[in-house]
Structure 1
Amino acid sequence: MKKRKWWIAPTILGLALVVALVWGYNEYTMKNELGMALENHYQRLFFDIKKHVENVQVNLSKAMLSESRDQNVLLLSQIMNEAYFAQDKLAQMPITHAETSKTEKFLNQVADYSYYLIQAHLKGESLTDKQRETLASLQGNSAIFNSELAELQSELADKNFLMTSLNKKQAKKIREGNEKIFQTSLVSIEKNMAKTPELIYDGPFSDQIINRKPLGLTGKEVSKKEAEKIAKEFFGANRVQDISSFEEGKDIDKVKIPSHTFNIIPKNTSKELAVYMGVSKKGGKVIWMANPRPVSKGDLSIKEAQDKALKYLKEKGFENMEPNYYLRYDGTILFNCVYKEDDITIYPDLVKIKVALDNGEIVGFDASTYYLNHHVRNIPQANITIEEAKNKVNPGLDIDSIRLALIPKGKEEVLCYEFKGKYRGGDYIVYINALDGSEEQILQLIKDENGTLTF
């Protein structure tokens, strides 16, 4: 018996050691797998951005030379979409908003100037010499941008640079930023983007509108300490392991909405999987939140994800929001939600929210457009009836739904009747001005299993 008892303790300790080693190995393996998944995601985003910018450069060159209005409409449409795609993917990279503000502005202007020229072509107007000069300037900047990205790609490959290391750098604040190849090269790109001339035209991304004060932010300036408290409460104070500020660069006040920005480490999470958040300096509102954690394949339905998105918005103080379009990618669903007032859909007041399909967590939030546009409006009464507006729509459109909507038009907002329906097998939306009956806009909806896009 004594001999048996003597072996019990070592046996139990041995088993415990084996279990601990197996658990530790599994945790180590899982961490490596998550890190690799995140790194692959960032690498894919980077190469996608480079490809989109290459397409912008090539098509701008063609548009400068083309004398055909029809051909230019096609080219400018491609430029607009490629610029939007590049901007969307740039926003998902693990880099600071301050360091990419000029680049985002440039891509926005490329897209919207293209749309402005498309509208001019559709009215029968040809390109003027001044417009060709502007296209040449944009093309030159896109060429510089593309060259910088190609050089950066080469440097990253030569030095085996991991983009996920930027997260570690951000936790140590911006002072170490320029020691990294990626960050230094982006600063160089930003300097070149600053040379883009101011564009004077009636478009939503013209400098005059970009530089306007956000209409939805009121109140006093908040300190960094106050903003940190707001960020913790927004994320959930009981979920925060550590929080530190970053983005103290010289360009921080040049972003659309100057903000205090924070690096949040959730509890039971490694520093490599930090969450980023921006709190407006004026008014102390959370403008954006990004959680770049890898999302495993999940089976959450679109309806379940939508319900979680709307619940989240309501909890954060966004009342009367409705989902409009969604896009599913990389294990998440991104919803576009807009404000509704007196049964009128207010498209300028837009909030984007991303839901992880593995557990329903909100992993992305962007209310910058909402706070740029949201204000107390004096919406006019419609001057024409639904029937009168319907008579302005092509009779071949098989109408599914009709509602009133406020849509952006350059510097203004226009009250319209929105007609959704099918035409020759395609899905379309036609907007008829509710005041004078003019046809304001036609959008085509491209639907597939991953969501809906508008063109």
Structure 2
Amino acid sequence: MHRTTWFAIPIVGLVVLCSGLGVWSYRLNNERQALVYQSDAQYSAAFHSLVSDMDHLTERLGESEVSTDQTGFASCAQDIWRLSYAGQTEISKLPIELMPMHHTQAFLTALANQSNAWMTNKASPRDPKVLKQVNNYYQRATSLKTELQSIQGKVLNGGLGWVAVNRAIHQNGGYHTGDNQIIDGFRTMDKGLTTFSETASLGSQLEGTKPPAKKPQGHTVTPTAAMNTVAAMLHVQRGRDWKTTTSNLGGQETVYLISGNAAHSPISAVVSRVGGNVLTLHEDRAVTNDKYGFAEAESRAKTWLQQNGFGTVSSEIANQSGNIGYFVFVPQTANGLAIQSPISINMALDNGDVLTLDSQAYYRNPIPTEAPKRKYSANQLQAKLNPQLRIEEVRNVVMRNQAGQVESAVQFIGVHDKQTYSVILNATTGSELSVNQIS
């Protein structure tokens, strides 16, 4: 027995030692893997930001092509300058071995310099020379954006890791046939810009102006009153399981978050404490058929909105997916469409009832009741537009500028280079209020 014990001691020691080495190796491997995940996450974040920057950069270039006055063009140029430098910053965060992007960086540098020159020289978008410059950059930026999106798709769909590809390059003399999709993508993209030169190119994002947020108005409602309002809008009885939670909604205003069940379907809603306005509403249930036609569902949605105090509305967006109708409406006023106060609503086609409502913009953006007199007709304003924009729709609108002042305006929706744009001109002064790429 004594000998057995003596013999067992080194065996046990060896087992403990091996176990210790195993644990140490396991922890080391976990730490290394954590670093890989962290690096991959950082590279992925930089790349997705680059894709986003190029997408917005292309939009701004397109919007500058259809801009009508110097002020609007300068706003586009300012954002182009910012996005060009942002793109260069994101490129610098990616692993250099994967980045044969000298020409891409040169393109972004040239574009930043050019946009700065446009701002400095107060360039006019109606100058043929400037228009040619913008179009040249737009075409190349579009190509660059497309290539980046293609690489993004390969990375996401193929589950490719930036660190793994980078390691493969070092292990295989700078190229690895199994993991070369990212590298090939960057090479193809950069090659497409080799013919670019600053010599050839020499020949703040302007979003729709947003009105100041509307402060909550009205009397303070109780949680019970808020639940009763939701029940009335859904034409159901308030269930015993309904409950409310008070939230500060990001510091903007105090609201009630309502949840419960109605006719065996979960419902949720957000109601403002001041005013008792239903900001969002959602019923979560399967829609099994399309008993109601799409046109009838749109009509029922308009009627429902009018019955619930939203007034007369005009259809802005309407489409169908499966057995659900998706609509966006804007309020109609005597002065034009209040396009800054849209209402989104989804209709179930099996019973014609409302599934979801989003009226946050409607309540938070003041709907103008009075507006300045129009001095320019739609035809007179259209003559100011860039002739490259093929106009498909014209409508009177009323909106607030960045200072919160009400403006009477005309909105032109047109197509340029297969992209759809919205151009809004002031009907009192004739100046440009906004240019937006909408598709």
TM-score (norm 1): 0.51
Q: Give matches, 1:28-427, under 5 Å.
A: 58-61=47-50, 73-74=57-58, 120-122=75-77, 126-127=81-82, 132=86, 212=213, 214-215=214-215, 217-238=216-237, 240-248=238-246, 252-254=248-250, 256-267=252-263, 269=264, 273-298=265-290, 300-395=292-387, 397=389, 399-407=391-399, 409-410=401-402, 412=404, 414-421=407-414
How many Å separate the matches in 1 of 2:55 and 2:226?
50
Offset of 1:397 from its aligned partner? 5.0
Cα deviation, residue 255, structure 1? 5.6
* 1:146-205: CA deviation from partner (whole Å, max 9, x where unpaired): xxxxxxxxxxxxxxxxxxxxxxxxxxxxxxxxxxxxxxxxxxxxxxxxxxxxxx999789
Distance 2:275 2:329 in 1: 22
In structure 2, give the amino acid aligned to 1:416: A
Structure 2 matches for 1:430-445, cutoff 5 A? 430-443=423-436
Task: Give the direction of change, closer, same or farther, for the CA distance of 1:119–1:221 in structure 2 (3 Å limit).
Answer: farther
2: CA distance, partners of 1:318 / 1:71:
36
Q: In 1, are the aligned partners of 2:297 and 2:352 still within 8 Å (CA)?
A: yes
Contact kept? 1:204, 1:408, Cα under 8 Å: no
Counterpart of 1:349 in 2: which secondary structure? coil
Distance 1:128 1:394 in 2: 24
How much has 1:357 moved relative to structure 2? 2.0
Structure 1 unmatched runs, 5+ = 1-53, 65-69, 78-116, 140-199, 445-453
The whole-number CA distance in structure 1 between the counterparts of 2:269 and 2:350 is 22
Instruction: Specify the code of the residue in structure 1 equivalent to 2:223.
Output: K
Tell me if the contact between 2:80 and 2:205 (Cα under 8 Å) persists in the aligned partners.
no
How far, CA to CA, are the matches of 1:223 and 1:289 in structure 2? 18
Q: What amino acid does structure 1 have at the position aligned with 2:255?
A: S
1:435, distance to aligned residue in structure 2 (A): 2.6
Structure 2 portions without partners, runs of 5+: 1-42, 62-71, 94-203
Structure 2 CA distance for aligned equivalents of residues 443 and 71 of structure 1: 14
| In 1: Cα distance, 2:387 partner to 2:205 partner | 34
Deviation at 1:266, TM superposition (A): 1.5
Cα distance between partner residues in 1 of 2:428 and 2:81: 30
Q: What is the CA–CA distance in structure 2 between the aligned matches of 1:393 and 1:430, rounded to whole Å? A: 9
Q: Is the 8 A contact 1:62 1:75 kept in 2?
A: no
Partner of 1:94: none
Question: In the alignment, what sits opposite 1:168?
Answer: none
Shift of 1:221: 1.4
The residue type equivalent to 1:259 in the other structure is: V
Task: Give the Cα separation in 2 of the matches to 1:390 and 1:128.
Answer: 30
Whether the 8 Å contact between 2:208 and 2:435 is mirrored in structure 1 is: no
Instruction: Judge conservation of contact 1:202–1:411 (CA < 8 Å) in 2.
Output: no
Taking the aligned partners of 1:348 and 1:404, their CA distance within structure 2 comes to 13
Residue 189 of structure 1 is matched in structure 2 by none
C-alpha contact 1:431 1:440 (8 A) present in aligned 2: yes
Work out the percentage of aligned pairs sharing the same amino acid.
16
Asked if structure 2 preserves the Cα contact closer than 8 Å seen for 1:63 and 1:75, the reply is: no
The amino acid across from 1:287 in the alignment is L
State the distance in 2 between where 1:383 and 1:331 align. Answer: 46
Aligned length: 277
Instruction: State the AA in 2 paired with 1:346.
Output: A
Q: Is the 1:265–1:274 Cα contact (8 Å) retained in structure 2?
A: yes
Q: Distance in 2 between matches of 1:403 and 1:75?
A: 23
One-letter code of the match for 1:58? F
Task: Please say which of residues 423-432 and 252-261 is displaced more in the overlay.
Answer: 423-432
Q: Deviations over 1:14-52 (max 9, x none)?
A: xxxxxxxxxxxxxxxxxxxxxxxxxxxxxxxxxxxxxxx
Q: Secondary structure at the match of 2:82?
A: coil
The CA RMSD over aligned residues, in Å, is: 4.3
TM, length-normalised to structure 2? 0.52
User: Structure 1 residues 260, 63: CA separation in 2 closer, same or farther (over 3 Å shift)?
Assistant: closer
